[in-house]
C-alpha cells in the first residue's frame, strides 16, 4: 500500500510528491501526460521562452537608439521553436532527476474507491489520494477549436508560421501575452475583450496603461467587444483565450463520493474534499490558477495529511505576473478592492520616466503603484507595469508578508541606478 497516490504531475502534484519524499513516505505519482503539467509543457515555460525571443528581436530593432547598426534582421520561427523546445526539455530532465525515490507512472488513473486507484490494468491501494489534475483551455460555442484556424493557447505555442493576421479573443493574462508576442514577431493583431478594460482582474490604471502601450505598438484593441461582430474568415488565425476549466472528467470522482462545486473539486480550507483521505490541489480546485500557488497548495495538502498540526491554505500574498512588454505584476489588494472593503487608503505612485535605469535601457513606459492602509501605515497592495516588474514585485510581496510600513521600506537603502529604487521613490 502506498502512503500517497498523487494524480497529476504538474506543479501541484510534483511539489506534493517532493514533500512526501522529504517525509519518507511511499508515494506514487501518476499522469497520463508529460511530467510538468500545463506549466512546463503548455503554459508558463514555453510561452515565456517564446516571449524572450520576441523581446530580443524587439531590442535588436531598437539598436540604432544605442548607436548600433544591425543589418538583415529577421525572424526564424523554426529556430525560435527549437530553442523553446530545448528549454522545456532541459527543465523536464531536471524534474525527472528529482523523481528518485518516487514511483512515477505515465498512465491514466481512475479512482475506484476512497483508497483504491486504477492505474493501467492494476488497482493500487493508498492511505491518501491527492488530486492535482490541472486545467484546460475553455472554448466558446461559436468559436470551437478546430486546431487549424481557431486555436487554443496550446496550439499557438507550436505554430510553424507567424500568422499574417491574428484575432485574439479574450484580453486576460493569456490573451495579452500572446497578443504582445505575435505583434512583436510581425503579426497584425486584433485583441478583443468583452469587458470595459484589458486585464479585468488587474488595477484599472494598469489596464488602461497596457491598452495605450498596445495601441502604440500597432495592436488593435477592442474593449466592450461583441465577438459576433468579428468574422473569423477575416483573420489568418483566431486564438481563443477566455479562461481555463478544471480537468475533472474521467477521474472516477463519483466512485469515491468526491463532490464538485461549480465544476471544480470542492475542498475545505485545508484542501480536504468531503472524504477524509482525499485532497485536491492546484487548478482543479479553481481557487487561484497560478503555478506557484498550486505548488503551495500541493505542499500544504501533504503536510495536512501527514503532519499533526493542520494549517489552512490561506496565504493570499500571492504575486501575479504577466509577461507582456512592458511586464505587469501585482500582489495584495488593488485600489478598488481596498475601497470596497471600506479601508481608508493612501495611493502612492511613481512613473518610470523618472527612473535613471529606465532611461539607460530606453524602457520608460509604466509605473509603480502602492496601496497603503492610511490608519496603520502598512503596505497592503501593489501593482507594477514596466521593466522587470515580475522581479520587482517580490520586494513588495516581502513587505506585505512581513507587515512592513511605508517608513520601514523607505528606510531601506536601494542601490542606484536600479529599477528597484523606484519602489522607495514611489513612497515619497
- Is residue 230 located within the same domain as residue 253? no
Q: Distance (Å, rounded) from C-alpha 162 to C-alpha 318?
A: 34
Residue 312 lies in a domain: no
Identify the bridge partners of residue 87 per DSSP, sorted by sequence position: none
Please give the positions annotated as active site: 416
- 305 touches 128 (CB < 8 A): yes
491598452: which residue's cell?
Answer: 211
Residue 314 lies in a domain: no
- Is residue 360 located within the same domain as residue 236? no
Whole-number pLDDT of residue 367: 98
Cα-based distances in Å from 286 to 91, 108, 200, 292, 365: 26, 21, 18, 14, 33
Residue 386 lies in a domain: yes
- Is residue 23 located within the same domain as residue 40? yes
- 404 touches 370 (CB < 8 A): no
527549437: which residue's cell?
Answer: 82
- Is residue 333 located within the same domain as residue 357? yes
- Is residue 333 located within the same domain as residue 292? no
Residue 56 lies in a domain: yes
- 164 touches 189 (CB < 8 A): no
Residue 145 lies in a domain: no
- Indicate which CATH number applies to the domain containing 227: 3.50.50.60
Whole-number pLDDT of residue 47: 97
Which among 188, 216, 242 is the end of a domain? Answer: 242
Give strand ranges (E) for 260-334: 260-261, 264-265, 278-280, 320-322, 327-332
- Is residue 373 located within the same domain as residue 390? yes
Which among 196, 219, 242 is the end of a domain? Answer: 242
- 363 touches 352 (CB < 8 A): yes
- Is residue 45 located within the same domain as residue 116? yes
Chain center to CA of 18: 21
Q: Distance (Å, rounded) from C-alpha 298 to C-alpha 280?
A: 8
- The SS3 of residue 159 is coil
- Is residue 164 located within the same domain as residue 132? no
Residue 313 lies in a domain: no
Which among 242, 270, 295 is the end of a domain? Answer: 242
Whole-number pLDDT of residue 121: 87
478544471: which residue's cell?
Answer: 246
- Indicate which CATH number applies to the domain containing 408: 3.30.390.30
The model's pTM is 0.95
Domain coverage including residue 112: 2-137+245-306
Residue 229 lies in a domain: yes
Residue 389 lies in a domain: yes
DSSP 24-49: T--EEEEESS-TTHHHHHTSHHHHHH
Dmax (CA) for the chain in angstroms is: 68
- Is residue 56 located within the same domain as residue 168? no
- Is residue 257 located within the same domain as residue 346? no
List, for the chain, all residue ranges whose pLDDT scores fall below the cut of 50.
none
Cα-based distances in Å from 127 to 15, 248, 276: 19, 21, 10
- 13 touches 129 (CB < 8 A): no
- The SS3 of residue 149 is coil
- Is residue 182 located within the same domain as residue 157? yes
- Is residue 237 located within the same domain as residue 263? no
Q: Beta strand pairing status for 327-332 and 320-322?
A: antiparallel
Q: How many structural domains are present in the chain?
A: 3
- The SS3 of residue 198 is coil
C-alpha cell at 200: 479585468
Amino acid at each position: 500500500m502506498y502512503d500517497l497516490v498523487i494524480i497529476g504531475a504538474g506543479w501541484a502534484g510534483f511539489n506534493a510528491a517532493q514533500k512526501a519524499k522529504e517525509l519518507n513516505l511511499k508515494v506514487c505519482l501518476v499522469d497520463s501526460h508529460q511530467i510538468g503539467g500545463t506549466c512546463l509543457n503548455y503554459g508558463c515555460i514555453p510561452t515565456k521562452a517564446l516571449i524572450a525571443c520576441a523581446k530580443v528581436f524587439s531590442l535588436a530593432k531598437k539598436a540604432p537608439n544605442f548607436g548600433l547598426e544591425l543589418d538583415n534582421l529577421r525572424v526564424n520561427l523554426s529556430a525560435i521553436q527549437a530553442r523553446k523546445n530545448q528549454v522545456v526539455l532541459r527543465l523536464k530532465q531536471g524534474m525527472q532527476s528529482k523523481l528518485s525515490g518516487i514511483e512515477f507512472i505515465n498512465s491514466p488513473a481512475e479512482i475506484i474507491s476512497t483508497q483504491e486507484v486504477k492505474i493501467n490494468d492494476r488497482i493500487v491501494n493508498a492511505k491518501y489520494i491527492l488530486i492535482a489534475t490541472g486545467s484546460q483551455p475553455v472554448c466558446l460555442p461559436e468559436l470551437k477549436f478546430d486546431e487549424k484556424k481557431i486555436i487554443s493557447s496550446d496550439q499557438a505555442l507550436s505554430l510553424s508560421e507567424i500568422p499574417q493576421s491574428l484575432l485574439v479573443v479574450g484580453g486576460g493574462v493569456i490573451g495579452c501575452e500572446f497578443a504582445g508576442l505575435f505583434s512583436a514577431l510581425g503579426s497584425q493583431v486584433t485583441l478583443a475583450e468583452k469587458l470595459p478594460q484589458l486585464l479585468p482582474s488587474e488595477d484599472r490604471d494598469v489596464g488602461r496603461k497596457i491598452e495605450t502601450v498596445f495601441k502604440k505598438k500597432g495592436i488593435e484593441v477592442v474593449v466592450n467587444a461583441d465577438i459576433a461582430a468579428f468574422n473569423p474568415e477575416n483573420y489568418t488565425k483566431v486564438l481563443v483565450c477566455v479562461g481555463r476549466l478544471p480537468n475533472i472528467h474521467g477521474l472516477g470522482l463519483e466512485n469515491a463520493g468526491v463532490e464538485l462545486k461549480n465544476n471544480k473539486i470542492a475542498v475545505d480550507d485545508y484542501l480536504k474534499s468531503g472524504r477524509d483521505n482525499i485532497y485536491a490541489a492546484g487548478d482543479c480546485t479553481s481557487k487561484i490558477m497560478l503555478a506557484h500557488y498550486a505548488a503551495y497548495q500541493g505542499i500544504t495538502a501533504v503536510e495536512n495529511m501527514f503532519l499533526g498540526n493542520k494549517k489552512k491554505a490561506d496565504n493570499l500574498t500571492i504575486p501575479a505576473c504577466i509577461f507582456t512588454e512592458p511586464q505587469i505584476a501585482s500582489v495584495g489588494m488593488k485600489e478598488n478592492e481596498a475601497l470596497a472593503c471600506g479601508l481608508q487608503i493612501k495611493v502612492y505612485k511613481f512613473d518610470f520616466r523618472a527612473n535613471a535605469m529606465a532611461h539607460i535601457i530606453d524602457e520608460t513606459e509604466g509605473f509603480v503603484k502602492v496601496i497603503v492602509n492610511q490608519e496603520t501605515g502598512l503596505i497592503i497592495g501593489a501593482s507594477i507595469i514596466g521593466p522587470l516588474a515580475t522581479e520587482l514585485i517580490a520586494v513588495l510581496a516581502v513587505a506585505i508578508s512581513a507587515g512592513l510600513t511605508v517608513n520601514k521600506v523607505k528606510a531601506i537603502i536601494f542601490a542606484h541606478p536600479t529599477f528597484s529604487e523606484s519602489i522607495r521613490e514611489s513612497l515619497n
